[in-house]
Amino acid sequence: MTVSGPNDSQLLLPGPSGVIEARLTAPDEQGSLAPRQLVVVICHPHPVHGGTMDNKVVTTLVRTYRDLGVTAVSFNFRGVGKSEGTFDHAVGEVDDLLAVIEWVKHEYPNAGLLLAGFSFGSSIAAQAGYRVTGIRHLLLVAPPVERYPYDQDKRFPCPVIVIQGDRDERVNAAGVYAWMEGLTSPAELIRYDEAGHFFHGYLTRLKQDLSPLLFRQLS
């Protein structure tokens, strides 16, 4: 393990296709959720289109959770950065996430587990949520619900927050809103009328809007 900053530790974890490159971001011990002992695993956007754990939306989510007092783990899917293997069309990527979750559960056996993902990564997080017991919360940012699997029978096994911009150039925002209306399990929406897919100019506001909602749902 090598440390790259005051809060970050670089990790190389065992995965189904070889090494998985990951980053552990230590929480703010004064954060409002720190006493809850929570860990979030965050999934990045599409690997083929340049998605990595260094994506600005992903790092904004990392900082959001960190400042709330939640330990954050981000990682590169197979074939990205130092992670071994090749892109597997949202199948092997779920296995990558499950391997990271297994490591988290081993290292933090008493912590509550949260999942989050941006774009392609939101589907990976959603799918894994059905294969792991005890997920406390799921965050889906700009979810391409018309292209990848998400809910099962219009329900999730835990509360969900969706963040979506109306001017998303890669995801059908109207389709996301229609999909949410059909969900029968708890789901809340943060919506930006002018935001595009990567939330340029909205990341500070996203953090400000998401933080109190996470605090309310996880307290």
Could you tell me the fold of the domain covering 2-218? Rossmann fold (3.40.50)
- pLDDT tens, the chain, 219 aa long: 333 557 899 999 999 999 999 999 999 999 999 999 999 999 999 999 999 999 999 999 999 999 999 999 999 999 999 999 999 999 999 999 999 999 999 999 999 999 999 999 999 999 999 999 999 999 999 999 999 999 999 999 999 999 999 999 999 999 999 999 999 999 999 999 999 999 999 999 999 999 999 999 999
> What is the longest distance spanned by two Cα atoms in the chain?
45
Residue 7 confidence (pLDDT): 85
Residue 4 confidence (pLDDT): 52
Helical packing angle, 92-107 and 120-128, nearest 10°: 60
Backbone angles phi, psi at 12, to 5 degrees: -125, 110
Asked if 192 and 219 count as a contact pair (C-beta separation under 8 A), the reply is no
Residues 61, 56, 23, CA angle at the centre, nearest 5°?
65
User: Strand 38-43 vs strand 18-25: parallel, antiparallel, or unpaired?
Assistant: unpaired
Entry pTM: 0.96
